[in-house]
């Protein structure tokens, strides 16, 4: 029986190409199953991914992930209008203020210095009571959002509104630390104290 099986697979096919013949060795059945399986999978993939509404598109799935990440990071800040209450609330929340510090470290230290002490010819000292472009706490938000007319302070267009609020709140919280800075970094004049933080330890 074994010899008969070997003879079947050793049988030469009738055609001849330039003196070359081939054995009659059929493709294994599992190869056919894999091919058919890929065909079925392709059809199901197209129907489910592209035509079934219960499966979100890549764009929709990405937007959902972004929204979830923003909810985790910003919490109720997303619903608060950009006003003094929002800035004071951030100033009273350690988690949000810490995020503002991280944004400051990654965006603002190149001009204002590692400790916000100012850098000569670039950024002013943010830790004293003298301000050149600020009269009230919301002016900080405006500076971060729009920059200054002379472009010395550029608009931070890479930040979203909640990130702007948090870095502005962190900058406001630095007032009174009085870190010594280089000559000229204390330009401006003293203004009225900022309002007190609104203490909120809920984390959003």
- The pLDDT > 90 percentage for the chain reads 57
Q: Confidence class of residue 203 from pLDDT cuts 50, 70 and 90?
A: very low
Can you give the pLDDT at residue 197? Answer: 95
Can you give the pLDDT at residue 137? Answer: 97
What is the average pLDDT value for the chain, to the nearest integer?
A: 85
Joined tokens for residue 11: 């049988």
Can you give the pLDDT at residue 28? Answer: 85
What's the average model confidence in pLDDT over 91-98? Answer: 92
Cα(110)–Cα(123) distance, integer angstroms: 8
Instruction: Check if the beta carbon of residue 188 is closer than 8 Å to that of residue 124.
Output: yes
pLDDT tens profile 138-178: 999 999 999 999 888 999 999 999 999 999 999 999 999 99
What's the average model confidence in pLDDT over 94-115? Answer: 93
With a cut of 80, say whether residue 63 has pLDDT above it.
Answer: no
> Which domains does the chain possess?
2-51 (no CATH), 75-190 (1.10.760.10)
Instruction: Tell me, yes or no, if the pTM score tops 0.85.
Output: no
What's the average model confidence in pLDDT over 178-187? Answer: 91
Can you give the pLDDT at residue 78? Answer: 82
Better-predicted residue by pLDDT, 69 or 28: 28
From first CA to last CA, the distance across the chain in angstroms is 78
pLDDT tens profile 32-46: 999 999 999 999 888
Q: Confidence class of residue 55 from pLDDT cuts 50, 70 and 90?
A: low
């Amino acid at each position: 029986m074994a010899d008969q099986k070997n003879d079947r697979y050793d049988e030469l096919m009738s055609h001849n190409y330039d003196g070359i013949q081939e054995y009659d060795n059929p493709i294994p059945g599992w190869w056919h199953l894999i091919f058919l399986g890929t065909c079925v999978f392709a059809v199901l993939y197209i129907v489910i991914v592209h035509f079934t509404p219960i499966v979100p598109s890549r764009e929709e799935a990405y937007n959902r992930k972004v929204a979830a990440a923003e909810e985790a990071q910003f919490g109720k800040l997303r619903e608060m209008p950009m006003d003094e209450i929002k800035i004071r609330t951030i100033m009273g929340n350690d988690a949000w203020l810490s995020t503002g510090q991280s944004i400051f470290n990654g965006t603002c230290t190149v001009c204002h210095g590692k400790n916000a002490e100012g850098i000569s010819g670039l950024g002013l000292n943010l830790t004293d009571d003298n301000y050149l472009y600020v009269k009230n706490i919301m002016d900080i938000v405006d500076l971060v959002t729009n920059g200054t007319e002379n472009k010395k302070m550029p608009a931070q267009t890479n930040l979203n509104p909640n990130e702007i609020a948090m870095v502005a709140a962190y900058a406001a919280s630095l007032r009174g630390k009085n870190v010594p800075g280089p000559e000229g970094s204390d330009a401006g004049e003293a203004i009225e104290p900022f309002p007190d933080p609104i203490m909120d330890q809920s984390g959003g």
